[in-house]
Amino acid sequence: MILAPIPALVAVLFCAALFILLFQYLFPRPAPWRLVGTSLLTSIICTFLLALILHRFVGAGLASFDRLTTVAAALPFAIWRIGLPEEAAKSLATILALLPFWRRVTPAQAFQTSLFVAVGFAIVENQGYATAFGQHAMLMAFGRGFLATFTHSLLAMIFGLFLMRFAARGWRDWHVLIIGYLVAVGFHAAYDTGMLPILSEFVRTKNVSMPTMVSALPVVVIGIALVLVTGLWSLRHATRRAAEEDLISAEPGHQDVVRRWRWSGNILLLLGIVGLIAAIAAGVYAGPPQAAERPDLGAALLYAVGFAAPIFAMIVGWVVRQKR
């Protein structure tokens, strides 16, 4: 796997660092930094190993990507080629990272470990995409650095809720962990299934037809909504449970910190709303796109980021308000 250009790699790492800080201080107490480092290192190693395995044993099968023209054809691919191996790598990395801390880690820290592992997985994946997009590496690095890292974190929140229960039950009920893994696989597949026909047609034709868009878009919306709502609900449950079990949550100084976080969340929500209104207005009043033999990928990415960024800001604002 080739590394992205240095500026793009720095952008990927910068986005990852922001997520790590968010997941550290969103809970009443930050996890030990040794646990954070172990989680990231283990995740990066497991992700590289997954990439090597897929390249060695599944690489030839990936040619079938150009045949994913329908949702029905995309679903098995999303389960077997994406959901199962990727969630297996993250789940294994999470368990391996927790092993040195097994006896003293709390359920909240177990949940956080799944988030740190997701960030490590996203670092490897995002730098790979940044490398593939050449002159648009920086735009891809920042775009995926925020959006894709957050998506993997949402899936980790779903798995982390089961991991939190597994830790609270004394690390004995392994069936809880297996169920959590399978649930994460299902949500991951639901998230990707609708996007695959769109991406497949764009790769083949550099365009997406209206029939493909009409058939795939409802699945895209449902998949994103399922992962977003379930992941955020899992995070809310985890932070509140951690606060109930930690006496520091009742201290006046800690409550002052929580209030500052909520004010920051309110500001992000407001900025996101204003930004989304501005993006919609720009889209409405912009002139029709000029016909071109080759689509302007850079302009398309900028346009997508312009709409995604304010929505992302609103979601992060809500997440920041969950500080306990």
Give the model's pLDDT for residue 287: 54
Pick out the chain residues at pLDDT < 70.
1-4, 58-64, 286-302
Give the model's pLDDT for residue 299: 61
Give the model's pLDDT for residue 57: 72
Give the model's pLDDT for residue 267: 97
Cβ contacts of 47 within 8 Å, gap of 6 or more: 89, 93, 120, 121, 124, 125
Angstrom CA distances, 113 to 70, 80, 91, 277, stand at: 36, 25, 10, 36
Q: Is 201 helix (H, G, I), strand (E, B) or coil?
A: helix
Contact 114, 105 (CB under 8 A): no
Give the model's pLDDT for residue 236: 97
Give the model's pLDDT for residue 243: 95
Q: Locate 122 and state its tokens.
A: 């996203």
Cβ contacts of 203 within 8 Å, gap of 6 or more: 65, 66
- Dihedral sign for Cα 322, 14, 87, 131, please: positive
Spell out the domain ranges in the chain. 6-248, 251-286+296-324
Angstrom CA distances, 66 to 30, 56, 61, 103, 298, stand at: 45, 20, 11, 48, 23
Contact 228, 154 (CB under 8 A): yes
**Residue 27 is inside which H or E element, if any?**
none
CA distance linking residue 15 with residue 207, whole number of Å: 30
Contact 69, 197 (CB under 8 A): yes
Q: What is the pTM of this model?
A: 0.91
Nearest to 228 by CA among 143, 108, 312, 141: 312
Contact 222, 190 (CB under 8 A): yes
